């Protein structure tokens, strides 16, 4: 019996090398404040992965991730600070938050996904506005406008990060696991069903795809990833308030996914880092940041509709074409 060898594509090797250089070098040349922003970028990427499942694989534009992120964050904040009358440890709190948000996303998905297209999108916008209102006004759960502070750092398998650099390494591991999970989903029956639904619902249905169930499962997974991001956000910063979970933040996640590439998980990670670090790099132009964002989104849609991942693919395709043309020329 012959052993099968799996060839790794050059693009995959490039991503691995870039990721390793990023993990090894960035902490050595970055101050504490920039490390904090970078860590938030990694956390936001986790939520954006969930959005890429819905938008990239399934063609569903949803703003609901911020609502589930907020719910996960507040559950963790309440349980770890003893607001219910008993203090849970951080890993238990994170697990409870993920399970609670998964169930909540499933139940809400059962209702919202009876809608389609623009109606579904507007329903998720309404969900974000309702959730923000609850977080802002229901003090027993959220602390109201004052938020919740003194949230302890995550302890995972006996390790508690001390400082932003240790948080960075922990988050890199978590992000890697999430990337592998999303890429695995992309190759499963669920991923193929979502792609079929995205391309043509009628054709997908004729092939035996349960459209409604497929969408609900994807929406539920997005809720779980959003809860994970929310819990990590709360424990990383030690403080949360309703201002962290606004509709503006929902649009930021859409920009992240569109910039990175809706169907490229690694590209989404890069998009999250760029969107979060850009205001720091352009701090002298802070008063024009919304103008820059707006103009950037317009240019992105016109010239790079597939995001940075699409641009990178075009670049690699050109290199391959020239290499093949060169080899054919030599053969002649």
Domain boundaries, the chain: 33-286
Do residues 87 and 80 make contact, with C-beta atoms less than 8 angstroms apart? yes
Classify domain 33-286 at the CATH topology level: ABC transporter involved in vitamin B12 uptake, BtuC (1.10.3470)
Which phi and psi (to 5°) does residue 116 adopt?
-140, 160
**pLDDT value at position 309?**
55
Q: Give the chain's radius of gyration (CA, Å).
A: 21
**pLDDT value at position 284?**
73
Do residues 81 and 268 make contact, with C-beta atoms less than 8 angstroms apart? no
Residue for token pair 């990175």 = 260
Neighbours of 115 (CB within 10 A): 13
Q: Which residues contact 80 (CB under 8 A, 6 or more apart)?
A: 87, 88, 89, 90, 93, 151, 152, 235
**pLDDT value at position 1?**
47
CA distances (Å), origin 179, targets 44, 201, 289, 299 = 13, 27, 30, 28
Do residues 78 and 138 make contact, with C-beta atoms less than 8 angstroms apart? no
DSSP category for residue 148:
B
Q: Per-residue pLDDT tens for 239-276?
A: 999 999 999 899 889 888 888 888 888 889 988 998 88
**pLDDT value at position 231?**
96
**pLDDT value at position 287?**
75
Do residues 196 and 204 make contact, with C-beta atoms less than 8 angstroms apart? yes
Do residues 262 and 182 make contact, with C-beta atoms less than 8 angstroms apart? no
Do residues 231 and 97 make contact, with C-beta atoms less than 8 angstroms apart? yes
For the entire predicted model, the pTM comes to 0.86
**pLDDT value at position 110?**
95
Q: Per-residue pLDDT tens for 279-310?
A: 777 777 767 767 776 777 677 666 665 666 55
**pLDDT value at position 114?**
93
Which phi and psi (to 5°) does residue 160 adopt?
-115, 120
SS3 track for 195-239: HHHHHCHHHHHHCCCCHHHHHHHHHHHHHHHHHHHHHHHHHHHCC
Regions in the chain scoring below 70 on pLDDT: 1-11, 13, 286, 289, 293, 297, 300-332
Q: Per-residue pLDDT tens for 53-69?
A: 998 888 899 999 999 99
> Exposed, middle or buried, 164 (CB in 10 Å: 0-12/13-18/19+)?
buried
Do residues 235 and 151 make contact, with C-beta atoms less than 8 angstroms apart? yes
């Amino acid at each position: 019996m012959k052993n099968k060898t799996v060839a790794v594509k050059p693009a995959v090797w490039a991503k691995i090398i870039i990721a390793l250089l990023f993990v090894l070098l960035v902490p050595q040349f970055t101050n504490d404040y920039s490390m904090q922003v970078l860590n938030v970028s990694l956390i936001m990427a986790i939520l954006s992965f969930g959005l890429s499942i819905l938008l990239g694989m399934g063609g569903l534009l949803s703003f609901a991730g911020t609502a589930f992120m907020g719910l996960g964050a507040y559950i963790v904040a309440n349980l770890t600070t003893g607001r219910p009358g008993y203090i849970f440890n951080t890993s238990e709190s994170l697990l409870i938050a993920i399970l609670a948000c998964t169930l909540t996303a499933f139940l809400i998905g059962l209702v919202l996904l009876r809608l389609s297209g623009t109606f579904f999108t507007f329903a998720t916008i309404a969900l974000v506005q309702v959730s923000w209102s609850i977080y802002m006004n229901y003090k027993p759960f959220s602390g109201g406008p004052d938020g919740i502070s003194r949230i302890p750092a995550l302890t995972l398998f006996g390790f508690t990060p001390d400082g932003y650099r240790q948080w960075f390494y922990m988050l890199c591991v978590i992000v890697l696991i999430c990337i592998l999970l999303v890429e695995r989903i992309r190759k499963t029956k669920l991923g193929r069903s979502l792609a079929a639904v995205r391309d043509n619902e009628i054709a997908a249905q004729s092939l035996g795809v349960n459209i409604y169930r497929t969408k609900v499962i994807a929406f539920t997974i997005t809720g779980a990833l959003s809860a994970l991001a929310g819990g990590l956000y709360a424990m990383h910063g030690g403080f949360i308030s309703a201002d962290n979970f606004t509709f503006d933040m929902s649009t930021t996640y859409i920009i992240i996914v569109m910039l990175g590439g809706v169907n490229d998980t690694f590209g989404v990670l890069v998009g999250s880092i760029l969107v979060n670090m850009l205001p720091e790099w352009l701090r002298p132009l802070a008063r024009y940041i919304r103008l820059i964002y707006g103009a950037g989104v317009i240019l992105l849609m016109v010239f790079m509709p597939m995001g940075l991942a699409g641009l990178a693919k075009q670049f690699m395709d050109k290199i391959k074409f020239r290499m093949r043309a060169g080899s054919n020329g030599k053969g002649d």
